[in-house]
Amino acid sequence: MTDMEEIDFSKLDGLAAVVVQDDMTSDVLMVGFMNQEAYTNTLETGLVTFYSRSRNKQWVKGESSGHTLQVVSLRTDCDRDAIVVRVQANGPGVCHEGYQSCFFRLRVGNEWITTEQQTFSPQDIYGGAK
Amino acid sequence: MTDMEEIDFSKLDGLAAVVVQDDMTSDVLMVGFMNQEAYTNTLETGLVTFYSRSRNKQWVKGESSGHTLQVVSLRTDCDRDAIVVRVQANGPGVCHEGYQSCFFRLRVGNEWITTEQQTFSPQDIYGGAK
């Protein structure tokens, strides 16, 4: 692999921004970050793996909920510092608040309005933890 | 506006990650960052405005190329630290390398392959500058 083909993790202190897009609907499900380790793990396992800034470690999305994200395709941008991963989402949703997509709030006028319906009970899945 | 309704710029040193999605095709066109000022300017003008980390200032996307991005809708996520903006893209493309989307590279095997065609000449539009 040449340098030209690598992801550039240098601009965001070792991270790249990752957009997760549902391969069926093209909805953006969530935005996260990968470091080199999480990126490599994603490639090797075919399951989207993020780096958690708050917990300071990599985590396979869905490792606790079972709502994993299977990689369908990966794209990177001109600067190679961001990734779009199209996925097949396992389970009813990716959001720890019980929604299919984390982007369940739409700006209407001067307010953010919840426009989506919950697809699962976060209490049942996460037992109160995220 | 209550605190609940604000964007949280604290997690990324004053920035929020912004996904730009074409409202017609749902393609992700680019990923950028906004600070509070760029976000406010986006709301007020209806034109997507980013914060440039390299130039350390806000910039209206398309201010030099004319390829501006008109806001169709804004969504934020559960943590209110990321934004998806659906846009009507003016002009043939958003990428400074001459492509409709910055995500013109697809991962195939162990390589990044350019799968898109250029839609304009970056030399003509930017005159060599980004």
> What pLDDT shows up at residue A128?
53
Mutate which of A42, A103, A126, A130 to test chain B, going by most B C-beta atoms within 10 A? A103
Structure tokens at A93: 């949703």
- For domain B3-92, give the CATH number: 3.10.20.810
> What pLDDT shows up at residue B91?
94
What Å distances lie between residue A91 and A96, A98, A100, CA to CA? 12, 11, 9
Contact A73 B106 (CB under 8 A): yes
Confidence of residue A125 (pLDDT cuts 50, 70, 90): confident
Cβ neighbourhood burial of B20 (10 Å; 0-12, 13-18, 19+):
buried
Mean pLDDT to the nearest integer, A41-57: 95
Contact A75 B106 (CB under 8 A): yes
pLDDT beyond 70 at B44 = yes
Q: If contacts are CB pairs under 8 Å, which of residues 33-52 in chain A contact chain B? A: none
- Residues B113 and B72: their CA atoms lie apart, in Å, by 31
pTM score of the predicted model: 0.94
CB of A111 less than 8 A from some CB of B? yes
Is the ipTM value over 0.90, yes or no?
yes
Residues of A in contact with B103 (CB under 8 A): 75-77, 82, 84
CB nearest to B28's CB, from A1, A21, A105: A21
Structure tokens at A116: 């989506």
CB atoms within 10 A of CB A119: 15
> According to the CATH classification, is domain A3-91 in 3.10.20.810?
yes
Contact A1 B73 (CB under 8 A): no
Contact B112 A78 (CB under 8 A): no
- Listed by start position, the domains of chain B span 3-92
Mean pLDDT over the full length of chain A: 93
Contact B103 A96 (CB under 8 A): no
Q: Are A50 and A58 in contact (CB under 8 A)?
A: yes
Lowest-confidence pick of A2-11, A21-30, A105-114? A2-11
